[in-house]
Structure 1
Amino acid sequence: MAPRSQLEIVTSSVTRLVKEEASYHRELEQQIERIKKLESSQDDDDENKEFLAKQENMAMEETKKVLPSLNQKIVDSVKELEALIAEESQKGTEGNAAHITAAQEAIAKAKTAER
């Protein structure tokens, strides 16, 4: 089996980063819902309520801190992938057509991903 080309590696990297970003957004939504649920609960006697709310808020803030750096990684990887596509297109090798198409699809997904 031939080693993977740089185009394939960066394409899979962009795809992975987009999936990871979507996962963090889902996690953030879940944390927000848990915080709302804790805040709206009528059980004022619960001694753990304040502690749980504080923990959920800390987790939410940590998740929010990850998103900007992850977004920058995606932007950088997309730029690298676009450069590799241009390079491969100039070479004109027909065997790379499928890899170029996959790379272009990964770029499209990255640009339309939730930000």
Structure 2
Amino acid sequence: MPPPTILAIKTSAVKRFINDEAGYHQELAVEQARLEKMEKDGESDEYAIAQQKKVVEETKAAIPVVRGKLELAVKELESQLQAATNETDLVKENARNAISNGEKVLATVV
């Protein structure tokens, strides 16, 4: 099997960043729910609540970083797709789908 092409690698990067962003949103929801439960139950001490707040803030901070990487990866993939001449139709279609999915994610409001 030949090594993956630059277009295939860039396509994989876009897909990975899409999954990363979705994962951070899921993690944020879980951690926020955990924080709310800790605050509501009143069983946790102030230190544990402060640590959980820190976890929530760090997760929130990671989302824009991944989003920026996704935006850059989509632009690079678009450029690579335009320059691709010796790629199969399947590889090109996968790249177009990744670009489309990446643009959909970027269009959502965080």
Fold conserved between structures, TM > 0.5: yes
Is 1:81 paired with 2:77?
A: yes
TM-score, L = length of structure 2: 0.88
Residue aligning to 1:108: 100
Runs of 4+ in 1 over 4 A off after TM superposition: none
Alpha-carbon distance between aligned partners in 2 of 1:51 and 1:109, rounded to the nearest angstrom: 41
What RMSD in Å do the two structures reach over aligned CA positions?
1.5
The aligned amino acid for 1:109 is N
1:19 Cα deviation from its structure 2 partner: 0.3
Query: Could you tell me which residue of structure 1 aligns to residue 10 of structure 2?
Result: 10
TM-superposed deviation, 1:111: 1.6
Cα distance in 1 between the residues matched to 2:36 and 2:101 = 31
Query: Hey, what does 2:68 align to over in structure 1?
Result: 72
Partner of 2:45: 49
Residue 49 (structure 1) shift: 2.9
Deviations 1:46-99 (A, max 9, x none): 4x43222111100011111111111111000000000111111xx3x4x52101
What whole-Å deviation, never above 9, does each CA across 1:17-71 have from its counterpart, x for those lacking one? 1101100010001111111111211x4xx4x432221111000111111111111
Structure 1 portions without partners, runs of 5+:
none
- Structure showing greater radius of gyration is 1
Residue identity opposite 1:62 in structure 2: E
- Normalising by structure 1, what TM-score? 0.85
